[in-house]
Every structure is written in C-alpha cells, then in structure tokens.
Amino acid sequence: MTVAGDEMHALVERLYPLCRSITGDGVRATLDIVGEYVPLRVHEVPTGTRVLDWTVPQEWNIRDAYIADAAGKRVVDFAASSLHVLGYSVPVSATMPLDELRGHLHTLPDHPSWVPYRTSYYKPEWGFCLAQETLDALPDGDYEVRVDSTLADGHLTYAEHVVPGQVADEVIVSCHVCHPSLANDNLAGIAVATYLARSLAERTPYYTYRFIFAPGTIGAITWLARNAERVERVKHGLVLACAGDRGHLTYKQSRRGDAEIDRVLRHVLTASGRPHDIKEFTPYGYDERQYCSPGFDLGVGSLSRTPYAGYPEYHTSADDPGFVSPEAMQDTLDVCREAFGVLDRNRRYVNLSPYGEPQLGRRGLYDSLGGRSDAKEAQLAMLWVLSLSDGEHSLLDVAERSGLPFDTVAAAAGALHDAELIKA
C-alpha cells in the first residue's frame, strides 16, 4: 500500500513548477500549499536582520526571463522551467552577440540534454542555464536578453508546524524550501515532512515535534538565531532531504555520533533488513551542519536516500517528478514513523523487585503469552527488561544488547509496568 506515497508524489508534482529561492514569493507560494495539508505559522524576517554571523539578504522575485533570437523567438524561456535562470539574477535588458552572451550561460556538456541548476545568492550577477544541445544549435548573431526581476529589501520567509506532545522537550524535523524545480532535492523532503506531521498528529506523541520549513543554510541559521532560548528543549532532530529517489536509505549521523537519534536510526534500519548506509558526520551537506555547529551541538542527523551529489541527476532538470517514486517516498516516511515510534517509547526503568527473579507466573505474565507465536521471545524480553532496569539502561539498550526487536522489548516493559514490577 502506497496511498500516502501516491499523495506525496501528487504534492511534489503540484509544487514542482514554482520558482523557489532563499527568499521571495515562490517560497511563500510553496508554504501556502503546504499549509493546506498542515497548519503553518509563517515567519517573515526583514532584510538586514543580523542572524548569528549572517545578515538576512535582500528579497529576490522574478516575473519573466528569456533569450530571444533575431526573429523574436525565445530560445531559452523562464516560463518553460524555473531552472533556466541563474538564481538571484539581477535585472537585465540588453541585446548582445552570442560570443558576449556565452559568458553568462551555464550548461552540462556531459549531459547535453539536461539543464543545470545554478545560483548567485551573494554576488550580483545574471545568467541563464540551458541544455548544451540548445547552445550548440544557436547560430552566431545578436540575441535579446531580458531578466525581469527585482532584488530589493524585503523578507526571508520560513514556517513551522508543531505537533504537541506529552512533554515540552522537542524533536525538530527540518527540510529546505529554497530549491526551484527539483523533485528529489528537495520537494520529496517537503512532502515526506508534511505527511510525517500529519501522521504524528493522529496520536499524542511523547515528545513535541516541531517541523521547520526554511530556506537552506540562511533559513536554519535564522531559525537558530531567533530560537536560542528554546534550543535547550531540542533533544533530537532529523533533517529530511533527497527523500524520493529509488536508491536505498542513507543516514548521516549527528556531529556527536552517539546521540540517541543516531542510535535509533541505526537500530531501525538494521532491524528492518532494508539495504542502507550509515555515514559519519561531515560539516558539509544540508542543515544538519547548522544544528550541529559546536555552539549548539544538537543531536540532529540527516535522512536521505541517495545523498546529495550522489546521483547524476542532482541539481539538474533530470531531477523531475518522474525521477522520484511514490514507493520510495512511502519507504522514507515509514522509516521516519518507525524511528520516532522508538524514540517516543525509549524509556529507562527501575526494577521494583531487584533481588532475584520475580515470580512472573503468579502475576499472570506467562499466561498472557499463551497462544502467541513469539511467546518465547516475549518471555525472554521480560527477563532482559527486568535484568537491565537499573535506571541506567534504556529500552533501546535492552533491544541492542539482547538482539530482540524493540517492539517486543517495549511490549514486555509495558506488561511489567502494569504488573508493578518496574517503574519509569
């Protein structure tokens, strides 16, 4: 069943045409659509605002852009794809020969039919991205060049969605909303985050889950700068990116390497039998590097399928809705659900009858296992929980040490707790 997968893919297709950047109306339009699925609190941070060591830049918006030949035919057209314009291009209206224009053109000679994704956020520049085969077909001569854009004081926009939990301690789930027409990087991440939020809202989780939809780098930095007082509440976190390609799952550990979220993802991926990779932290990639910067050092890892730059279609027009699949997004969502299910139930207990093995039979605990196909495993889980319930070991410790499934261990702990043999 990939019902959610199909719906997530439809969301990717709906978001795909929008021109997003680190600021601007494309981000707002994206958040408006996401807000139809989950309620969002949208934040607008003015240009010039100091955020840690950075400053919120001017806002960029674009209405039209093209290169036209002498006959007026558009040979490169922003209306056909938002990738055709160098991100943050300043306005230009000129006529120039092809030789001069070439200095502003970006192609992928190794993939001549693909259009690259390029930006110039912090350097005033203009340019176009096009297929190499399109460029090769252009005859010498003069071309009309127009970029109808504005770069002016405005705002940086990001949004949050909160799923209230039983405690105020938080898990953050972060994804970037700054890329234009790129399906895997990162519309799939946005879609999975949205449906994960909806799934968590169907129950009352233990932790409070805060979903952050923000532009890459500057957005996460802005969130951290504006939430310094709440950072101490963040106990775990996950960055979602490249969540929909057909490669197997990859988990990049937090800077700590031994954060609880790291252990949970390692356990869930290994126990599931899914092909997967576990990567060490590096200070390059997505916004995990902001959350894990040494001043914050949050326990935030990153979950993706094929990692960034690990597939040829990365940052090209080939990363379209056909490149991502409902099945892959469903699988990513399922792993997130499984991981947060473990995180929410991972408790430490104290054995209330620690001197010798308590008599489980007279408490009906053995009888409750009658007829279960996993009765012996469930009985063994009870003994392991009793043995390691010393206030120091968590249920994840029990599962890892015993080799038993976490769900079996958690069920055993629930039965022992109800029998008043252990307490949290």
pLDDT at 360: 87
DSSP secondary structure string for all residues of 257-279: SS-HHHHHHHHHHHHHT--EEEE
Structure tokens at 357: 């093995």
Sorting pLDDT into bands at 50, 70 and 90, what band is 134? very high
Kindly report, residue by residue over 196-238, the tens digit of the pLDDT. Answer: 999 999 999 999 999 999 999 999 999 999 999 999 999 999 9
Kindly report, residue by residue over 361-400, the tens digit of the pLDDT. Answer: 888 887 665 555 567 888 899 999 999 999 999 999 999 9
The SS3 call for residue 319 is coil
Percent of the residues in the chain that have a pLDDT greater than 90, as a whole number: 94
Residues of the chain with CATH 1.10.10.10: 348-423
pLDDT at 366: 72
CA distances, 34 to each of 51, 135, 140, 156, 159 (Å): 26, 37, 45, 17, 10
Which class does domain 348-423 fall in? mainly alpha
Residue 80's CB: how many other CB atoms inside 10 A?
11
Nearest to 254 by CA among 210, 223, 285: 285
Mean pLDDT of 13-41: 98
Cis peptide before 184 (omega within 30 of 0): no
The H or E element spanning position 252 is strand 249-252
The SS3 call for residue 132 is helix
Assigned architecture for domain 60-152: 3-Layer(bba) Sandwich (3.50)
Biggest alpha carbon distance in the chain? 94
**Angle at the Cα of 262 (from 225 to 401), degrees rounded to 5?**
150
Residues of the chain with CATH 3.40.630.10: 3-57+155-341
pLDDT at 393: 97
Mean pLDDT of the chain, nearest integer: 96
Residues of the chain with CATH 3.50.30.90: 60-152
CB burial of 141-156 (b: ≥16 within 10 Å; e: otherwise) equals eebebbbebebeebbb
Nearest to 160 by CA among 12, 332, 35, 16: 35
What is the rounded CA–CA span in Å between residue 92 and residue 101? 12
What is the rounded CA–CA span in Å between residue 41 and residue 43? 7
Q: How far is CA 410 from the centre of its chain?
A: 28
What is the rounded CA–CA span in Å between residue 175 and residue 97? 42
Whether the pLDDT of residue 132 is over 80: the answer is yes
Whether the pLDDT of residue 1 is over 90: the answer is no
* 410/362: higher pLDDT: 410
Assigned architecture for domain 3-57+155-341: 3-Layer(aba) Sandwich (3.40)
What is the rounded CA–CA span in Å between residue 409 and residue 402? 9
pLDDT at 168: 97
The SS3 call for residue 34 is helix
Q: What is the pTM of this model?
A: 0.96
Sorting pLDDT into bands at 50, 70 and 90, what band is 124? very high
